[in-house]
DNA sequence: ATGTTTACTTTCATGGCGAAAGGAAAATAA
DNA sequence: TTATTTTCCTTTCGCCATGAAAGTAAACAT
């Protein structure tokens, strides 16, 4: 299905998706065209879902990252899903097992914006917040 | 520093960083070259840190995502940092405030790999695991 | 009024990308 | 064993994207 060369190509593209096919080809000992064929195939298989940026959120004014565990009090999960989807500050959201119903990763400009966000969460349930003190990885 | 046009460009590139400068220009009413100039400037400012892929981890055999909160029992944090950095299964790691010391996002192929990983964590401290049941965002 | 700075548009050269053809090896079928 | 098909590479080609630079106009400073 997908071999070691494909994994190597993925690894290189994750590092820099604007690498030229020729440059990748040099690393995996193929021509650029052969690399292009493999990349297209992984796109078609859905392994590569898209191409995006790595942004420095801090330099965009999002100085604070918080992890918010939500304990739902309502059964209207679809409304919560919609709220989460529309909320730009929520960069990632997972439904989780164990303690809590959802885990949200939130980036905000400061305490004020976080506070406002948490107030909005109260409509759906209670929450626990952990602030990111630093990002290791 | 960075205006609404820049934010629009970032938004478009986050959606698809292989968009052509001309295509982005059409959206923000500039020529492709003007867009290219702005993108380069945001790279130089460090706002754009790089270009990468959106991968389907599930199709890469990483069928399970878990959030692991680590409660350190040792003060040798650097060793833990090193372990985390080298561990491919750890896709994201933050030092956190409140309950727990670190929050790790981990992708694994199944319970066995998760189990092994958690055994390794025990060298540094205790843990709490929440499995992702589904990803909203 | 003049000079400088900023940021755009236009122009140009290079080469990247996408598609297709050709070829070789491996796999499959007869 | 031979013939055919399939797979995946390399090579080729045409189009146009990218990077760089020149020209221009508006805003700003003196």
Token pair recorded at residue B81: 């940092």
Task: Find and list the nucleotides of strand C having atoms within 7 Å of a protein beta carbon.
Answer: 7-11, 15-20
Same domain membership, residue B79 and residue B15: no
Name, in order, each residue with C-beta under 8 angstroms of B37's C-beta and a sequence gap of 6 or more: none
The model's pLDDT over A67-114, given as tens digits with 9 standing for 90+, comes to 999 999 999 999 999 999 999 999 999 999 998 999 999 999 999 999
CB contact at 8 A, B29 and B92: no
In angstroms, the CA A121 to CA A114 distance is 11
Residues 41-70 of A with CB under 8 A from B: 45-56, 59-60, 65, 67
SS3 assignment, position B44: helix
Same domain membership, residue B109 and residue B63: yes
SS3 assignment, position A5: helix
Same domain membership, residue B27 and residue B78: no
Same domain membership, residue B127 and residue B62: yes
β-sheet bridge partners, residue B48? A55
pLDDT of residue A70: 97
How distant is the Cα of B83 from the closest Cα of chain A, in angstroms?
A: 11
Same domain membership, residue B118 and residue B86: yes
Residue A95 lies in a domain: yes
pLDDT of residue A18: 95
Contact A97 B51 (CB under 8 A): no
Instruction: Please report, for the domain that includes residue A92, its CATH number.
Output: 3.30.70.920
Residue A106 lies in a domain: yes
pLDDT of residue A137: 87
pLDDT of residue B137: 87
Same domain membership, residue A40 and residue A62: no
Region A26-39: mean pLDDT is: 95
Contact B132 A95 (CB under 8 A): yes
pLDDT tens for each residue of chain B, 137 residues long:
789 999 999 999 999 999 999 999 999 999 999 999 999 999 999 999 999 999 999 999 999 999 999 999 999 999 999 999 999 999 999 999 998 999 999 999 999 999 999 999 999 999 999 999 999 98
Residue A52 lies in a domain: no
Task: State which residues form the domain around B96.
Answer: 58-131
Phi, then psi, of B133 in degrees rounded to 5: -90, -25
Residue B109 lies in a domain: yes
Same domain membership, residue B81 and residue B127: yes
Same domain membership, residue A63 and residue A127: yes
CB contact at 8 A, B46 and A82: no
In angstroms, the CA B127 to CA B130 distance is 10
Name, in order, each residue with C-beta under 8 angstroms of B136's C-beta and a sequence gap of 6 or more: A81, A84, A85, A93, A94, A95, A102
Contact A136 B84 (CB under 8 A): yes
β-sheet bridge partners, residue A94? A103, B135
Contact A50 B52 (CB under 8 A): no
**Residues of chain A with C-beta less than 8 angstroms from the C-beta of B82:** none
Judged by a CB distance cut-off of 8 A, whether residue A78 touches chain B is: no
Same domain membership, residue B114 and residue B92: yes
Name, in order, each residue with C-beta under 8 angstroms of A137's C-beta and a sequence gap of 6 or more: B84, B85, B90, B91, B92, B93
Residue A77 lies in a domain: yes
CB contact at 8 A, A93 and A104: yes
Instruction: Please report, for the domain that includes residue A9, its CATH number.
Output: 1.10.10.10
The total number of structural domains that make up chain A: 2
Of B90, B127, B132, nearest to B107 (Cα)?
A: B90
Same domain membership, residue A28 and residue A62: no
Question: Which nucleotide lies at the shortest CA–C1' distance from B18?
Answer: D17
């Amino acid at each position: 299905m997908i071999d070691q060369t494909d994994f190597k190509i993925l690894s290189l593209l994750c590092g820099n998706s604007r690498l030229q096919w020729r440059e990748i080809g040099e690393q995996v000992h193929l021509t650029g065209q052969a690399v292009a064929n493999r990349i297209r195939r992984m796109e078609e298989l859905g392994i590569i879902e898209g191409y995006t940026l790595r942004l420095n959120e801090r330099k965009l004014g999002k100085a604070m990252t918080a992890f918010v565990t939500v304990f739902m009090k309502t059964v209207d999960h679809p409304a919560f899903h919609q709220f989460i989807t529309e909320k730009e500050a929520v960069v990632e959201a997972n439904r989780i097992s164990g303690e809590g119903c959802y885990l949200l990763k939130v980036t905000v400009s400061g305490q004020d914006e976080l506070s406002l966000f948490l107030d909005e969460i109260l409509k759906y349930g209670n929450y626990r917040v952990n602030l990111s003190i630093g990002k290791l990885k």
